[in-house]
Chains A and B, each alone.
Chain A
Amino acid sequence: MKIAKKLSALLLVVLMACSFASCGGGGEEVDNYIDIQIFTEVNTMDAQYATDGTSFTVIASCIEGLVSMDKDGNIIDALSTEQEVSEDGLTWTFKIRDNAEWTNGTPVTAQDFVDAFQKLTDPDYNSDYQYMSTEIMQVKNGRAVVDPDNALYGKLDELGIKAVDAKTLVIELEVPCPFMLPLLLFPSFYPRNDAFVDPLDATKTYGTSADTYLSCGAFKLTDYEPSAETFTLEKNEKYYDADKVKIDGLRYHVIKDSQSAVLAYENGEVDYTVLDGSLVDQYKSSEEFKVLPGSYLWYLAFNINNTKTFGTNADGTCKNANVTYLANQNLRHAISASYDREAIANNVLKDGSWAAGYIYPVGLATGPDGQDYRTAVNAVTAYPDTQYNETKAYEFYEKAAAELGVTDFTFELIVEDNEAAKNVAAFIQQEIAETFKGHITVNLKTTTKKARLEAMNAKNGNFEIGLTRWGPDYGDPMTYADLWDYTTSSDGLGSGWVDDTYSAMIKSCKDGSLTAEERWEVLKDCEKYILDRAIISPVYQKNDASLIKANVKGIEFHALGLPTNYKNAYIEK
Chain B
Amino acid sequence: MNKYILKRLGIAALTLLVIVFILFMMMKLMPGTPFNDEKLPPEKIASLMAKYGLDKPLYVQFFKYVVNLVKFDFGISYVINKDISINLMLSTRVPTSIRIGLQAVALGTVIGLILGIVAALKHNTIWDNLTTVISVLGVSVPSYVFALGLLYVFAFKLKLFPLLYSKVHPFQSSLLPTFSLSMFTIASIARFTRTEMLEVLDSDYILLVESKGISGSALIFRHALRNALIPIVTVLGPLVVGLMTGSLVVEKIFSIPGLGAMTTAAIQANDYNVTIASTYIYSLMYIVIMLVVDISYGIIDPRIRLAKEGSGE
Contacts and interface: CB of A to CB of B under 8 A. Distances in A.
Given A126-B47, A208-B88, A230-B167, A457 B36 contact: yes
Contacts of B43: 489
Listed residue (B83, B156, B160, B255) with the most chain A CB atoms within 10 angstroms of its CB: B255
A79 B261 CA distance: 38
A266 B122 CA distance: 45
B252 interface: yes
B82 A255 contact: no
Interface stretch (A373-381, A420-428, A466-474): A466-474
B48 interface: yes
Nearest to A129: B39
A26 B151 contact: no
A263 B155 contact: yes
A32 interface: no
Contact of A22 (B81, B151, B161): B161
Nearest to B220: A3
Contact of A489 (B37, B41, B220): B41
B127 A254 contact: no
Contacts of A459: 42
Given A19-B161, A25-B172, A450-B33, A473 B252 contact: no
B216 to A, nearest CB: 8
B160 A128 contact: no
Contact of B41 (A11, A468, A491): A491
A43 B32 contact: no
Interface string B6-35: 000000000000000000000000111110
A46 interface: yes
Nearest to A267: B163
A451 B268 CA distance: 10
Listed residue (B42, B173, B262) with the most chain A CB atoms within 10 angstroms of its CB: B42
B83 to A, nearest CB: 6
A349 B165 CA distance: 30
Interface in A441-484: 447-455, 457-460, 468-471, 473
Interface stretch (A165-173, A220-228, A514-522): A220-228
Given A257-B252, A267-B155, A451-B31, A492 B40 contact: yes
A346 interface: no
B102 interface: no
A44 B84 CA distance: 8
B281 interface: no
Contact of A11 (B79, B111, B156): B111
Nearest to B127: A4
Q: Which 8 A-B pairs have the closest CB atoms?
A: A450-B32, A459-B42, A451-B31, A454-B32, A25-B169, A453-B36, A229-B257, A22-B172
A99 interface: no
A7 B118 contact: yes
Listed residue (A1, A257, A269) with the most chain B CB atoms within 10 angstroms of its CB: A257
A518 B252 CA distance: 52
A459 to B, nearest CB: 4
